[in-house]
Copies of this chain bind each other. A is one copy, B any other.
């Protein structure tokens, strides 16, 4: 052993993985390295090597020869209290579905025992999914949201979790009693959870413009500015919703402007992710680009709720940062692999049926959005390039047998389309190996 080895910062989070490694370099290019070594030092990637470099010889080796090693997936939009009824009530449109399915179920999370039971199921599923990072909506309930944070913390997944704010246009049983109460609850939630978790951080979560008064938005902005918290919400999901926002905010030139007026729409110190963006106007695209707002593209939800198909290529070409969201329970599947293939499939339909100026998304682009694209909301996440936080999942694709020989890239495409959870045999988040996967 030479001097270099001694200088290694060897911790529990330093090790080597061996296997068939794939990651997105950019949205057009996937790097593939067969039978290589991937180095994790102190929770960060140190790169990929054909042989173990001398410097890393002393690190423990986790041998996944013959398996795929890819970055952990990123879910930029998921509603935890809707997990319980995913795949049900799917024959409705957004606003009906909210009133019939989503709101009555979310109301139950005011009850401690129900929240614990149902969020426990959600957390268990997140743990066993290929998702390493997520932006999660809870409900309006402070205690319920805390329970969700505690349960998720134990899984090892890294997530932003938001107590939802809504003080208008919601059924009485799920409407906060005025902006003052909503803000007070939000401050209490933030106070009570401050520095309590390692993996779980708070995110401000006005549900969407129709359910938040200007006073509430103003109060949230003040909290945002004081505590420099990120923001998540919904934007232009459905045509009826877009018209409704126009009625509710005649002073706003656009739906995006309704958030931006309250300084809850990206910009310096206010990382923001907006779900859907099916119907953004030109000025909104411009504003999102300018303010660095992320889009959580949720193709399955946009199908299930008959919303439409977001023009994702337009956003990518405009330089907007786009990731993928399962949008449970608008989306039925929690799998971000599924979101990748849904994104490709609906982009093909949009090209065929609506607008052949926007070419369909390619596998490389969908994989990028589900890893590095969405990962950027969490920092240097979603890739194995040097310095990236070390999120990885291991897929044993031999369990879905094939008769021919395949390239590594073909094996990756195949897993994106076919993997169903049974192939994942290992998961690492920020360099920590998750047990019991």
Contact between chains at B353 and A308 (CB < 8 Å)? yes
> In the complex, how many angstroms separate the beta carbon of A316 from the nearest chain B beta carbon?
16
Partner of A90, one of B108, B350, B417: B417
Q: A121-B403, A306-B360, A403-B117 are in contact. Are A90 and B354 (CB under 8 A)?
A: no
Write out the residue numbers on chain B whose beta carbons fall within 8 Å of the beta carbon of A345: 300, 303-304
A142-166 interface code vs B (CB 8 A; 1 in, 0 out): 0000000000000000000000000
Write out the residue numbers on chain B whose beta carbons fall within 8 Å of the beta carbon of A105: 404
Q: A84-B403, A353-B309, A353-B354 are in contact. Are A90 and B418 (CB under 8 A)?
A: no
Partner of A362, one of B91, B309, B354: B91
A351 is an interface residue with CB less than 8 A from chain B: yes
Contact between chains at A349 and B417 (CB < 8 Å)? no
Binds B, one of A34-42, A50-58, A408-416: A408-416
Contact between chains at A417 and B87 (CB < 8 Å)? yes
> In the complex, how many angstroms separate the beta carbon of A84 from the nearest chain B beta carbon?
5
Nearest residue (CB) in B for A121 is B401
Nearest residue (CB) in B for A419 is B87
A85-124 interface code vs B (CB 8 A; 1 in, 0 out): 1111111000000000000010010000010011001000
A402 is an interface residue with CB less than 8 A from chain B: yes
Alpha-carbon distance between A88 and B91 when the two chains are bound, in angstroms: 31
Contact between chains at A341 and B349 (CB < 8 Å)? no
Contact between chains at B344 and A90 (CB < 8 Å)? yes
Alpha-carbon distance between A291 and B353 when the two chains are bound, in angstroms: 30
Nearest residue (CB) in B for A410 is B88
A188 is an interface residue with CB less than 8 A from chain B: no
Alpha-carbon distance between A305 and B360 when the two chains are bound, in angstroms: 11
Give the oligomeric copy count. 2
> In the complex, how many angstroms separate the beta carbon of A350 from the nearest chain B beta carbon?
8
Contact between chains at B304 and A348 (CB < 8 Å)? yes
Chain B CB count within 10 A is highest, among A307, A345, A350, for A345
> In the complex, how many angstroms separate the beta carbon of A369 from the nearest chain B beta carbon?
15
Contact between chains at A121 and B402 (CB < 8 Å)? yes
Alpha-carbon distance between A293 and B380 when the two chains are bound, in angstroms: 56
> In the complex, how many angstroms separate the beta carbon of A57 from the nearest chain B beta carbon?
37
Q: Which of A315-354 contact B (CB under 8 A)?
A: 332-333, 341, 344-346, 348-354
Contact between chains at B333 and A418 (CB < 8 Å)? yes
Partner of A87, one of B88, B360, B413: B413
A393-405 interface code vs B (CB 8 A; 1 in, 0 out): 0000000011110
Q: A90-B417, A363-B91 are in contact. Are A341 and B332 (CB under 8 A)?
A: yes
Write out the residue numbers on chain B whose beta carbons fall within 8 Å of the beta carbon of A108: 404
Alpha-carbon distance between A166 and B434 when the two chains are bound, in angstroms: 53
Write out the residue numbers on chain B whose beta carbons fall within 8 Å of the beta carbon of A114: 403
Write out the residue numbers on chain B whose beta carbons fall within 8 Å of the beta carbon of A403: 84, 114, 117-118, 121
Contact between chains at A303 and B87 (CB < 8 Å)? no
Alpha-carbon distance between A415 and B90 when the two chains are bound, in angstroms: 13
Contact between chains at A349 and B349 (CB < 8 Å)? yes
Write out the residue numbers on chain B whose beta carbons fall within 8 Å of the beta carbon of A306: 348-349, 351-352, 360
Write out the residue numbers on chain B whose beta carbons fall within 8 Å of the beta carbon of A28: none
Q: Which residues of A contact B (CB under 8 A)?
A: 84-91, 105, 108, 114, 117-118, 121, 300, 303-309, 332-333, 341, 344-346, 348-354, 360, 362-363, 401-404, 406, 410, 413-418, 420-422
**Sample of 15 more A-B contacts, CB < 8 Å, known A90-B344, A300-B345, A306-B360:** A85-B402, A86-B418, A87-B415, A88-B406, A89-B413, A91-B362, A108-B404, A117-B403, A118-B404, A303-B349, A304-B348, A305-B348, A306-B349, A306-B351, A333-B418
18 examples of A-B residue contacts, CB within 8 angstroms = A86-B414, A88-B410, A88-B413, A88-B417, A91-B363, A303-B345, A303-B346, A304-B345, A306-B348, A308-B353, A309-B349, A332-B341, A333-B417, A333-B418, A346-B349, A349-B353, A353-B354, A422-B422
